[in-house]
Amino acid sequence: MKPRYVLGISAFYHDSAAALLRDGDIVAAASEERFTRKKGEASYPVHAVSYCLREAGITSNDLMGVGFYDKPLLKFERILDTYLATAPRSLRQFLVAGPVWMKEKVFTDRQLRDALGYEGAILYAEHHESHAASAFLPSPFDEAAVLTIDGVGEWATASLGVGRDNDIELWKELFWPDSLGLLYSAFTYYTGFKVNSGEYKVMGLAPYGEPKYVQLIYDHLIDLKEDGSFRLNQEYFDYVGGLRMTNGNFAELFGGPPRVPETRLTQREMDLARSVQEVCEEVMLRMARTAYKATSLDNLCLAGGVALNCVGNARILREGPFKRLWIQPAAGDAGGALGVAQLVWHRHFKQPRTLVPGRDGMKGAYLGPAFREELIEAFLTSVGAVYHKLERQPLLEATAKLLADGRIVGWFNGRMEFGPRALGARSILGDPRSPRMQAQMNIKIKFREGFRPFAPSVLRERVAEWFELDCDSPYMLLVASVKKEHQIPMTTEQRKLWGLDLLNQPRSDIPAVTHIDYSARIQTVSRDTNPDYYDLIREFEKLTGCPIVVNTSFNVRGEPIVCTPQDAYTCFMRTHIDALILGPFVLHKTEQPTWKETQDWTREFQLD
Ligand SMILES: [Fe+2]
């Protein structure tokens, strides 16, 4: 029988993306930002869609159905309703959001058809249905409780339900403007970081602070119920009718105006970060308990932007009551493209779900473009790069040696990851044993704040020897402590240090990936999903006895993760990365011609 294809799209809000299924199997998925090089790209994902179709070797005429990840009219209704309820205070926001909505978003159907050149069925799911579908349908479970938590979709900001066989059912929702994602974003804004992308920084900053403001948050901002539902006191926020997240009352409550972005971080921001993180975890735990009570199932699936809070996820896993947890790697809105495609396939077309025991359907999240060796070589030649081609085994050995010698390596290998984390396809790697590696990578490579922690990629079968974790964490969405025997206890002198002064104190045998509270955001690496990356870490272990490498995304601050060989070479040349492994080619920085910033090759590229 001819294969049947379903395309899912998320667009026009943030993190546009496309995902394609062939007979229910995920063939390709990618975020538009990787192609346009604009972080959080919100426009129609023209490149991501065309990549997905190309990967499958089809055109839009071959599609059996198309799904869109939310209901634009419902979302418009929320915006209009908010406007009417808060006018004239919200007039300015409406003027900003309104005309764009009118013009572009209400007419999504026509727009999608025109862009795709497609006249078949287009189905719309609700935003949280798309998240929930992306959490359950690719999971390894035949039955699970499902929890989605984010900023806002149409009206819902969180939902709870169940996934069974080939469908999901949502039982409970929490509605705008009561949103855990937006509460977290309010603190992200107030501590001087960018809303929608700076939330990670708040989470990374939290362990440096004290939970000083927790009570204040409970007393004034959030009325949290036992079941995890809550009301936010809108007297302190400005996002409903204004253009900012917080208002003057919020500033008064926390003793001053928001931190001006890029100014010095103080203990206050760290305490604020720690406080909102604790509240966030408490809400997540209560919601998880409610999901358990409602379903009595042992499995929980998570998605929505808040599911990227790996500290909160780990607490759910540790403190139960669920036995197993699966989190969609593209937990943010990009993942909605995948969720809706699966809903269209399983719910609309009533297709069964095939489960492979113990394995999810994400293929390690390596669902983006790969590049043929000839194309990479043609590119390298065209820019006069100096490179050495190696066979697989010598390449892995040479890379492991570079890492063991303390070099920082750009690792570009196979298909690009889907979701915000680099998982060993577009990664910058280093030696976790080096006490200088964290500062060096943050400042000289990523050009970002020195406090930002790095994540370890560890061989799956070794994870329990190094960390307090003994399950799969393939998508870097769980944290756990470094094992006691690998920790370096703090001296009395060090205990006296506060905040960022603690940063340069080695905390373990693997200081570059050990956070200030001895935690690490772990990626377990299995040979069946990424054999090259797995074997590279094995080679590193042979040389050093350490089955772990530092893994950070291949990009610089504020830029999307690299997609093409061109992107990778540019990033390599602009930073202090020592060596670049581009498919089978090794490039050493010292051998490269002088980099000219004006060099501007076309971003047109061909794919495998
Ligand atoms: Fe969302």
pLDDT digits (tens, 9 = 90+) for 250-304: 999 999 999 999 899 899 999 999 999 999 999 999 999 999 999 999 999 999 9
pLDDT given for residue 446 in this prediction? 74
Nearest partner of 353 among 167, 166, 168, 169, judged by Cα: 166
Q: Is 429 helix (H, G, I), strand (E, B) or coil?
A: strand
Please indicate whether residue 15 or residue 108 has the higher confidence score (pLDDT): 15
Neighbours of 425 (CB within 10 A): 23
- Residue 224 pairs in a beta bridge with 230
Distance (angstroms) between ligand 1 centre and the Cα of 162 equals: 18
Segment 305-337, tens digit of pLDDT = 999 999 999 999 999 799 999 999 999 999 999
Among 339-353, 445-459, 524-538, 543-557, where is mean pLDDT lowest?
445-459
Q: Are 548 and 510 in contact (CB under 8 A)?
A: yes
Q: How far is the CA of 15 from the centre of ligand 1 (A)?
A: 10
Distance CA 577, CA 559 (A): 16
Ligand 1 centroid to residue 556 C-alpha, Å: 25
131 Cα–ligand 1 center, Å? 7
What is d(CA 474, CA 423) in angstroms, rounded to the nearest whole number? 8
Question: Does residue 596 or residue 138 have the better pLDDT?
Answer: 138
On the question of pLDDT at 545 being above 90, the answer is yes
Mean pLDDT across the chain:
90
- Asked if the model's pLDDT at residue 81 lies above 50, the reply is yes
pLDDT at residue 597, rounded to an integer = 75
Between the CA of 312 and the centroid of ligand 1 the distance, in Å, is 17
On the question of pLDDT at 608 being above 50, the answer is no
Whether the pLDDT of residue 506 is over 90: the answer is no
pLDDT in tens, 88-140: 555 555 555 554 545 445 567 888 898 999 988 899 999 999 999 999 999 99
- Measure the CA–CA gap between 425 and 561, rounded to whole angstroms: 10
pLDDT for 605: 45
The 3-state secondary structure of 162-212, one letter per residue: EEECCEEEEEEEEECCCCHHHHHHHHHHHCCCCCCCCHHHHHHHHHHCCCC
Q: What is the mean pLDDT of residues 31-52?
A: 95
Q: Report which of residues 262 and 523 the model is more confident about.
A: 523
Contacts of 256 (CB under 8 A, 6+ apart): 268
pLDDT over threshold 90, residue 356: no
pLDDT for the residue numbered 495:
65
The percent of residues in the chain predicted with pLDDT above 90, rounded, is: 76
Q: How far is the CA of 304 from the centre of ligand 1 (A)?
A: 5
The rounded Å distance from CA 379 to ligand 1 centre is 37
- Surrounding residues of ion ligand 1, Cβ less than 5 A: 150, 333
Between 107-111, 137-141, 204-208, 478-482, the lowest mean confidence (pLDDT) is in 107-111
20 C-alpha to ligand 1 centroid (Å): 19
Grade residue 71 by pLDDT with cuts at 50, 70 and 90: confident
Q: Is the pLDDT of residue 221 over 90?
A: yes
| Per-residue confidence (pLDDT) for residue 278, from 0 to 100 | 98
- Of the pLDDT bands very low, low, confident and very high (cuts 50, 70, 90), residue 41 is very high
3-state secondary structure 393-426: HHHHHHHHHHHHCCCCEEEECCCCECCCCCCCCE
pLDDT at residue number 547: 98
Distance CA 80, CA 243 (A): 15
- Distance from the CA of 286 to the center of ligand 1, in angstroms? 20
Starting at the edge strand that comes first in sequence, how are the strands of the sheet with 324-327 ordered? 167-175, 156-164, 143-149, 299-303, 324-327
Confidence of residue 225 (pLDDT cuts 50, 70, 90): very high
Q: Is the pLDDT of residue 493 over 90?
A: no
pLDDT at 472: 95
Q: Cα(537) to centroid of ligand 1, in Å?
A: 34
Q: What is the dihedral of CA 303, 46, 198, 408, to 10 degrees?
A: 100
Its pTM stands at 0.92
> How far is ligand 1, taken at its centre, from the CA of residue 335, in Å?
9
In the predicted structure, residue 34 carries a pLDDT above the cut 80: yes
Closest CA to 64 of 129, 131, 2: 2
More confident residue, 235 or 155: 235
pLDDT over 70 percentage in the chain: 91
Q: Residue 84: what pLDDT?
A: 62
Q: Is 235 exposed, middle or buried (0-12, 13-18, 19+ CB in 10 A)?
A: exposed
pLDDT score recorded for residue 604: 47
pLDDT of residue 466 exceeding 90, the answer is: yes
Cis omega before residue 321 (within 30°)?
Answer: yes
Residue 541 has a pLDDT of 98
Name the least confident of 376-380, 448-452, 458-462, 539-543.
448-452
Q: What H or E segment, with its residue span, contains residue 568?
A: helix 565-574
> For residue 153, how far is its CA from the centre of ligand 1 (angstroms)?
6
Measure 166 CA to ligand 1 centroid, in angstroms: 22
| Ligand 1 center to 573 CA (angstroms) | 35
Distance 393 CA to ligand 1 centre (A): 42
25 beta partners: 22
How far apart are the CA of 306 and the centre of ligand 1, in A? 9
Residue 185 CA to ligand 1 center (angstroms) comes to: 13
